[in-house]
Every structure is written in structure tokens, then in C-alpha cells.
């Protein structure tokens, strides 16, 4: 099947010097031409129609990766080889067209300043960043991944992360694209006996989707995978997460919150697997949604698949409006009703934002949330 990306792919392939990656790109593009973009007929895309992305004609552009990174050689190649590009058409197209960067955090190294990844596609363009992060044993660092396209554009991004034993990686992903932009992103995490703490904020995009997959590979790993999607107008945001406990004594806690207004729609699908030998697992998952409009909608599906008795697991989902009792309490204290509603909504969202330890990012997100509420607190 011919696609609008054929010529851009030929140019990308001609510029590739690495024979192994060149072959990988070819296999990925073949998968894309066979699959195309996913449709609601696919179970994992049942609630998300990406046909507006497929109908547009995009000009491929540089992602603008400007990093001083150290090539991790064969290990980066191994991660790229393991990337599940065949999961859907977006991931296949990403690897075929990828602008690849490798970040290696050396053994026992503490990086004090955040490592920033900033991506912004121009109007009418498509960008394909693909970042490989290797946190070697005993290292500690913070990754800040930001998206801020200001026009109708298409971002198709992938981040692969390897956290080795005794390493600690904090990862903030902030998607603030234009309300006309399209954004697909996938995060693949392989976690040893280390710590991975992520906070994912989705505020922008006409259609946005984030797939996050985390796999424990060593006894004693710990992960926090939290997020917030705040939508208005006709925005559509879809989050699919998979947390795979394949080994014993690992901890995963996940809290995702949604605030939806206007005619917006949110989708959350969270899967937690506890394999047969994964005794001592502690896996907690919850999705809470606040609907500010009668026309807003959310589809939520938290799932647990447990194949071991010696575990501590829970999951749940809530969809509702502001609590009448809480609103009444504030009104009896003399607050005007609009301010009371905004204060409660702000507090609901702030539980996730407060996890962010970088003050500049936190302040910016606070301002964005207040702007969405047309309020000052």
C-alpha cells in the first residue's frame, strides 16, 4: 500500500549509515504500510478514532532533538531491536521515520539538573522523535519530556527507558500541544531492582494518546505511574497503560485523574499483570474522573490479571461530579459558588501536579489549570 510517507521514508533510509538500524527501519515501514493507522475496529482503539490524522497531508520535519548525548553503542541497538513497533501503525511509523537520540546516565552518577526533551511541531508538519534512555546501576536523574506544538500538526513520539539495579529515574511528561494538534506517544520502561517515578500531564491536542508499558525484570523494583488529563471543548485524550509484574516482590502504584469539560472525552485503560512466580507483589491502581459538563464523557477500564495468591493488589475507577457536601461547606463559609467550584476542581487536579518537584514546571502547570478554570485562586 502506498502511503503519503513513502518519499520521506526513502530520504530517511538514504541518510541512515547504520546497517542494523536501516534494516530495522525497513521492517517497521513494511509493517506500517500493511497495518496503516489503527481504527475503532481494533479493540485497543475502540473509543479513539484517529481518522482525522490519517486524512491530513503531512510534511515530515526534524524533531529538533538537541542533546549532548553519549552513544551507548550495542545496548542502545538492543533496546531499539526490542521496541515493539508492531503494536500499531503509529509505533511502526515512528521507528521507520525516527530521529533517534540516546541518553546514557553513567553508573553511580547523580545528575542534578533535569535532562530536558522539548518537542514542538510546526503547522502542517509531522515529527518523529525516538529517545533511548539508559540509567545505569546506581545512577540518579530526572527526565523532563515536553510537547508544545502551537498549530495543527502531528507528533509521533517514542521513549524507551532502561532502569538498572539501584538506579532512580524520575520522569515528567507534559503534553501542552495546541488544541488543533495531534499527539501520539509511547513510553516503554524496563525496570530492574531500581526505582521509576513518572508523572504524565495531558492538557493539549485535538486527539492525543499515550501508551505506557512498564515491565519489572528484577526482584525488588518500585514504580509509580501517575497522570492527569484535563480536557475542554472537543478534546479527546486516551491513556493505555500496562504494568507487568514478571518477578517477585515489586511495587507499582498508579493514580490517574481526569477533569473533563465541554464536549471532551477521556479514555483510560489500565492493565496490571501479576505472573505466576511474582509473589510478594504490591500493585495498586485507581482512576478518578471529574465531569464538569453534562456533555463530557469518560470511558474507564482498570484491569487486574493475577496468577499468584501471595500478593496485595487493588484497582478501581470513579466517574462523577463535584461533591455536594464539599460544595455546600465552602458556600456556607461565604465563598461565591463559581469560586467554590473552581477551588474544588483545582484541588482535585493538584494531587497529581504536587508530585512534580521542579518548581518552574509546577508553577506553569498551576497557571495552566487556573486558566482552564478561568479563575484566580
Asked, for residue 358, whether it belongs to a domain, the answer is yes
Torsion on CA atoms 359, 362, 365, 367, rounded to nearest 10: -60
189 grid coordinates: 520502561
Give 132 or 323, the one with higher predicted confidence: 132
Give me the mean pLDDT over the 166-173 stretch. 98
Give me the pLDDT at residue 282, please. Answer: 95
Structural domain span for residue 356: 322-377
Q: CA 168 to CA 109: how far, in whole Å?
A: 11
CA atoms within 13 A on the CB side of 150: 2
Averaged pLDDT score across all residues of the chain: 92
User: Which grid cell sits at 50?
Assistant: 484517529
Whole-number Å distance between alpha carbons of 207 and 183: 7
The total domain count for the chain is: 1
Q: Which residue, 255, 281, 280, is CA-closest to 270?
A: 255
What is the H or E stretch that residue 175 is in? strand 168-175
Average pLDDT over residues 233-260: 97
Question: How would residue 375 be classed by pLDDT, with cut points 50, 70 and 90?
Answer: low
CB 355 within 8 A of CB 257: no
Report the pLDDT averaged over residues 112-137: 96
- Residue range 240-248: mean pLDDT, rounded: 97
On whether residue 236 sits in a domain, the answer given is no
Task: Determine, yes or no, domain membership for 369.
Answer: yes
* CA-wise closest residue to 166 among 135, 137, 142, 136: 137
Residue 346 lies in a domain: yes
* Residue 69: band (very low, low, confident or very high) from pLDDT cuts 50, 70, 90: very low
The CA–CA distances, whole Å, from 285 to 209, 227, 254, 272, 371 equal 19, 12, 5, 8, 29
Does pLDDT of 8 surpass 90?
yes
Average the pLDDT over each of 126-140, 145-159, 171-185, 310-324 and give the range with the smallest value: 310-324
Domain membership of residue 345 (yes or no) is: yes
Q: Is residue 24 part of a domain?
A: no
Contacts of 373 (CB under 8 A, 6+ apart): 342, 345, 346
Question: In Å, how far are 65, 171, 244, 271 from 310, measured between CA atoms?
Answer: 45, 30, 16, 19
Q: For 361-374, how does the pLDDT look when each residue is reduced to its tens digit (9 = 90+)?
A: 999 998 888 887 76
> Does 3 fall in a domain?
no
Confidence at 309, pLDDT banded by 50, 70, 90:
confident
pTM for the structure as a whole: 0.93
Measured CA to CA, the distance from residue 240 to residue 44 in angstroms comes to: 8
Cell numbers at 16, concatenated: 541512515
pLDDT number for residue 198 = 98
What is residue 335's predicted lDDT score, i.e. its pLDDT? 74
Query: pLDDT per residue over 270-284, tens digit each?
Result: 999 999 999 999 999
pLDDT at 67 over 80: no
Out of 88-102, 116-130, 218-232, 310-324, pick the least confident: 310-324
Placement of cell 529515574 in the chain: 169
Query: What mean pLDDT do residues 83-94 have?
Result: 96
Q: Could you tell me the CA-to-CA distances from 161 to 57, 130, 348 in Å, in that order?
A: 31, 11, 30
**Helix runs in the chain, H state only:** 6-14, 19-35, 51-55, 74-82, 89-97, 324-332, 337-353, 359-372
Q: Which residue reads 545496548 in cell numbers?
A: 75
pLDDT at 140 over 50: yes
Averaged over 159-172, what is the pLDDT? 98
117 pLDDT exceeds 60? yes
Closest by alpha carbon to 303, among 259, 242, 365? 242
Whether 366 is covered by a domain: the verdict is yes
- The β-bridge partners of 245 are 216, 274
C-alpha cell at 351: 494531587
Amino acid at each position: 500500500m502506498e502511503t503519503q510517507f513513502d518519499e520521506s521514508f526513502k530520504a530517511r533510509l538514504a541518510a541512515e549509515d547504520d546497517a542494523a538500524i536501516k534494516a530495522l527501519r525497513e521492517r517497521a515501514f513494511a509493517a506500517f504500510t500493511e497495518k496503516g493507522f489503527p481504527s475503532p475496529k481494533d479493540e485497543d482503539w475502540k473509543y479513539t478514532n484517529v481518522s482525522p490524522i490519517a486524512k491530513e497531508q503531512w510534511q515530515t520535519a526534524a524533531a529538533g532533538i538537541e542533546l549532548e548525548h553519549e552513544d551507548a553503542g550495542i545496548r542502545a541497538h538492543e533496546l531499539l531491536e526490542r521496541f515493539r513497533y508492531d503494536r500499531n501503525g503509529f509505533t511502526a511509523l515512528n521507528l521507520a521515520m525516527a530521529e533517534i537520540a540516546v541518553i546514557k546516565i553513567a553508573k553511580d552518577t547523580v545528575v542534578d539538573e533535569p535532562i530536558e526533551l522539548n518537542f514542538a511541531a510546526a503547522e502542517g508538519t509531522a515529527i518523529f522523535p525516538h529517545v533511548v534512555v539508559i540509567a545505569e546501576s546506581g545512577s540518579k536523574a530526572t527526565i523532563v519530556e515536553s510537547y508544545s506544538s502551537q498549530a495543527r500538526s502531528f507528533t509521533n513520539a517514542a521513549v524507551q527507558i532502561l532502569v538498572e539495579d539501584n538506579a532512580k529515574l524520575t520522569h515528567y511528561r507534559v503534553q501542552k500541544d495546541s488544541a488543533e494538534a495531534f499527539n501520539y506517544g509511547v513510553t516503554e520502561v524496563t525496570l530492574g531492582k531500581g526505582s521509576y517515578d513518572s508523572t504524565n500531564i495531558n492538557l493539549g491536542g485535538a486527539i492525543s494518546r499515550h501508551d505506557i508499558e512498564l515491565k519489572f525484570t528484577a526482584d525488588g523494583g518500585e514504580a509509580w505511574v501517575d497522570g492527569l488529563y484535563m480536557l475542554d471543548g472537543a478534546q479527546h485524550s486516551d491513556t493505555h497503560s500496562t504494568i507487568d509484574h514478571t518477578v517477585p516482590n515489586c511495587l507499582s502504584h498508579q493514580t490517574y485523574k481526569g477533569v473533563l469539560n465541554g464536549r471532551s472525552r477521556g479514555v483510560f485503560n489500565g492493565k496490571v499483570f501479576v505472573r505466576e512466580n511474582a509473589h510478594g507483589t504490591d500493585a495498586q491502581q485507581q482512576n478518578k474522573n471529574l465531569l464538569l459538563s453534562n456533555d463530557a464523557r469518560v470511558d474507564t477500564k482498570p484491569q487486574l490479571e493475577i496468577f499468584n495468591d501471595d500478593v496485595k493488589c487493588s484497582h478501581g475507577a470513579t466517574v462523577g461530579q463535584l461533591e455536594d457536601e464539599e460544595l455546600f461547606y465552602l458556600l456556607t463559609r461565604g465563598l461565591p459558588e463559581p469560586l467554590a467550584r473552581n477551588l474544588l476542581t483545582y484541588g482535585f487536579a493538584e494531587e497529581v501536579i504536587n508530585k512534580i518537584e521542579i518548581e518552574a514546571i509546577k508553577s506553569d502547570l498551576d497557571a495552566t489549570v487556573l486558566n482552564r478554570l478561568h479563575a484566580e485562586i
